[in-house]
Amino acid sequence: MSKTTPDATRTPPAGDEDLGAAGSQLSTAPEDTLNMPSLGVIGWARWFWRQLTSMRVALLLLLLLSLGAIPGSLIPQSGTDETKVADFRKNNPTLGDLYDKLGLFHVYSSVWFSAIYILLFVSLIGCIIPRTWQFVGQLRGRPPGAPKRLTRLPAYTTWRTETEPEQVREAALALLKKRRFRAHLAGDAVAAEKGYLREVGNLAFHIALIVLLIAFAWGQLFKMEGNKLIVEGGGFSNTLTQYDDFKSGSLFTADDLDPFSFNLKDFQGTYEKSGPNRGTARTFQADVTYSLGAYGKSKKTIIKVNEPLEIGDSKVYLTAHGYAPVITVRDGKGNVVYHDAVPLLPLDANITSSGVVKVMDGYRDPKGARQQLGFEAFFLPTYTPGNEVSSTFPALGNPVLNLAGYYGDLGVDAGVPQSVYQLDKTHLKPFKNGKGQQRENLRPGETMKLPNGAGSITYESTEEWANFQVTRQPGSGWALAGAIAAIFGLAGSLFIQRRRVWVRAVKGDDGITVVEMAGLGRSESAKVPEELGALADTLYDQAPGAPEPDEDPTDTPDPQAVPAERLEK
């Protein structure tokens, strides 16, 4: 035991042996022992189990859990940012390999992190079960009888009275019961206890932690998360094939998808027009219509950044937005071979964007041969002359689309999955004019003629697109319930005092009754002596003091006593 033990009453500390059973069981915390096991497998198993469920090991595991969580916050994680992980691997190949081996790119699903929290929760369960039984036993039993020497308890008071001991004890029993103590008469003293809710709170808190963890694990196994980019006017129905990308927990099946569909009518973004934060987004909102099931009625709603649309168990979030110029491509004869809005990916906060236009079929070159076309598009929603490479404001102020074309084979038929935002130029040749590669800035409505009668490309107008994330996180209700229960349990466990009071009344040699009262709290608190004082005061009225005898009473207060006021901080 260390030198300063402010709450020394949970296991009777050395020097307090005489409290015996009175001081025990004030908490159901397991006792910490480090006894070496007796030989044999069972001996070791039992020793191991006892260690695992001890407070010391719980503490160590908690420490390990917090230490183990640190690397995941400093090293890029594949779960949150795949590209950063890839960058890191490229820049530090050796370190990357090492991290890979240690699972440091996915700390929170790594073997070692799981091992820590699984051990912790085994420990927790192994801790809760015996404590619950022990507590039930305490509730069934009665508060332990008074220790022999009440003077040794943390709070103590005594007086002499002419009232008969039986009467005093009866009055004390009635008083304590009225104050909602569990009290009973044991020998020459009344034993009482209060504050059992502390233990209830503590058990509830630890059980709530288990509920929380199971709910979290359940959510991880059955969750789904998919993204869909939709251009204004476009729609989506909730099937696997419609998603641009889709992630799910290992036990999720496609049947779990909620049947719904929705259309994006309009996207609106507003931005700060002036001041130091010029260009910072103010509002984003998507006007959508949605319907549930195959033939559901369609309803109108607005999805904002913090206000997802909830359909069934799914939530639809607005997560990103950008521009989609409407492009028309014509061949040499003037036939339209491509007409679509092309979503471009934002590169910066002012939505400078880039992307590609792929004309896969239908196009023939001036000689009539089948060919594919590709265009690199670079878009500035607000173009300011002099600043050719980036937009100066996120809204559509002065849109300019920069295009450069290629012809040949896009490589899309090779079967290798290709990004819709990049061109594979291995089999493509640039369109050239006199000065090299042809590259032009277009404004809405303008057309760029391709050289040698190869056709033309027109920038018609600009639409906006929004990205929607559809998620389903089963078990989140349980997680929330667990969390709320944990808070209440915790509050009960930390704010409720569990304490015992004993009142002894015996006749002294001179025929006068000596009343002794003592209080014991689970932790040394100013409340225990205060409460004892109040109880003593009330009891004193019913058993008023008798004049002091000439000589000192035998029960001099303990010399280690300190003033009560010191504790009242």
Partner 1 sequence: MTLAAATDLAAATNEHLANLSNTLIYSAMAVYTLAFFAYITEWIFGSRSKIGRTAAALTADPAERKAPAVTVKKGGSTAVLERPKVVVRAAAGQRDVPDGPGAHGGDEQGDLYGRIAVSLTVLAFLIELAGVIARAASVERAPWGNMYEFNITFSTVAVGVYLSLLALKKNVRWMGLFLITSVLLDLGIAVTVLYTASDQLVPALHSYWLYIHVSTAILCGAVFYVGAVTTILYLFKDSYESKLAAGGKPGKFATSFLERLPASSSLDKFSYRVNAAVFPLWTFTIIAGAIWAGDAWGRYWGWDPKETWAFITWVAYACYLHARATAGWKGRKAAYLALIAFGCWLFNYYGVNIFVSGKHSYAGV
* Footprint (CB under 6 A) of ligand HEM, residues 126-145: 127
Site string for ligand HEM, 196-215 (x = CB under 6 A): ------x---x--x------
Using CB under 8 A as the binding rule, whether residue 4 contacts partner 1 is answered as: yes
**DSSP state at residue 364:** B
Q: Which two tokens stand for residue 563?
A: 């003033």
x-marked contacts with ligand HEM along 25-44 as a string, rule CB under 6 A: --x-xx--------------
Task: Give the one residue of 32, 245, 348, 361 binding partner 1; rule: CB under 8 A.
Answer: 32
| Host H or E run for residue 493 | helix 476-495
Binding region for ligand HEM (CB under 6 A) out of 38-46, 52-60, 187-195, 558-566: 52-60
Among 47, 88, 108, 421, indicate the residue that binds partner 1 (CB under 8 A).
108
Between CA 359 and CA 355 the distance in angstroms is: 13
For ligand HEM, give the closer residue by CB, 124 or 448.
124
Structural contact between residues 371 and 358, judged by C-beta atoms closer than 8 angstroms? no
Q: Of 374-413, which residues contact partner 1 (CB under 8 A)?
A: none
State the SS3 of 381-437: CECECCECCCCCCCCCCECEEEEEEEEECCCHHHCCCCCCCCCCHHHEEECEECCEE
Interactions with ligand HEM, residue window 489-508 (CB under 6 A): 493-494
Residue closer to ligand HEM, measured from CB, 88 or 478: 478
Q: Return the one option of partner 1, ligand HEM, none that residue 123 interacts with (CB less than 5 to 8 A, by type).
A: ligand HEM
Choose the contact partner of 53 out of ligand HEM, partner 1, none; CB within 5 to 8 A by kind: ligand HEM
Contact residue for ligand HEM among 9, 53, 77, 458 (CB under 6 A) = 53
CA distance 319 to 98: 34
Q: How far apart are CA 178 and CA 170, in angstroms?
A: 12
In the complex with ligand HEM, the residue whose CB is nearer, 336 or 494, is: 494
Does the footprint of ligand HEM cover residue 517 (CB under 6 A)? no
464 part of the interface to partner 1, by CB under 8 A: no
Q: Residue 1 binds which one of partner 1, ligand HEM, none, with CB within 5 to 8 A depending on kind?
A: partner 1
CB of 127 to ligand HEM, least distance (A): 3
Options 55, 63, 240, 360; binder of ligand HEM; rule CB under 6 A: 55
Distance CA 192, CA 502 (A): 6
CB burial string 53-70: b at 16+ within 10 A, e below: bbeebbebbeebeeebee
Q: How far is the CB of 298 from partner 1 (least distance, A)?
A: 23
Which range binds ligand HEM by CB under 6 A, 118-126, 228-236, 332-340, 405-413?
118-126
CA torsion through residues 409, 414, 415, 418, sign: negative
Helix (H) or strand (E) holding 160: strand 155-161
Give yes or no for residue 353 binding ligand HEM (CB under 6 A). no
C-beta closer to partner 1: residue 215 or 400: 215
Q: Which residue type is seen at 250?
A: S
| 474 binding partner 1? (CB under 8 A) | no
Write out the two tokens for 232. Answer: 């204004």
**Least distance (Å) between residue 516 CB and partner 1:** 10
Among 42, 63, 125, 254, binds partner 1 (CB under 8 A): 63
Q: Which residues contact 73 (CB under 8 A, 6 or more apart)?
A: none
Residue 241 binds which one of ligand HEM, partner 1, none, with CB within 5 to 8 A depending on kind? none
Residue 466 is a binding residue for ligand HEM (CB under 6 A):
no
For 552, other C-beta atoms within 10 Å of its C-beta total 8
Integer Cα distance of 545 and 75 in angstroms: 73
The SS3 of residue 298 is strand
Residue closer to ligand HEM, measured from CB, 455 or 492: 492
Nearer to partner 1, 160 or 330 (CB): 160
The Cβ-side half-sphere exposure at 149, using a 13 Å CA radius, reads 12
User: How far, in Å, CA of 548 to CA of 137, rounded?
Assistant: 43
Structure tokens belonging to residue 394: 């996120």
**Among residues 97, 339, 534, 549, which is the contact residue for partner 1, using CB under 8 A?**
534
- Count, residues in the chain: 569
Question: Which run of H or of E encompasses 319?
Answer: strand 314-330
Interface ranges with ligand HEM (CB under 6 A) = 27, 29-30, 53-55, 58, 62, 120, 123-124, 127, 202, 206, 209, 493-494
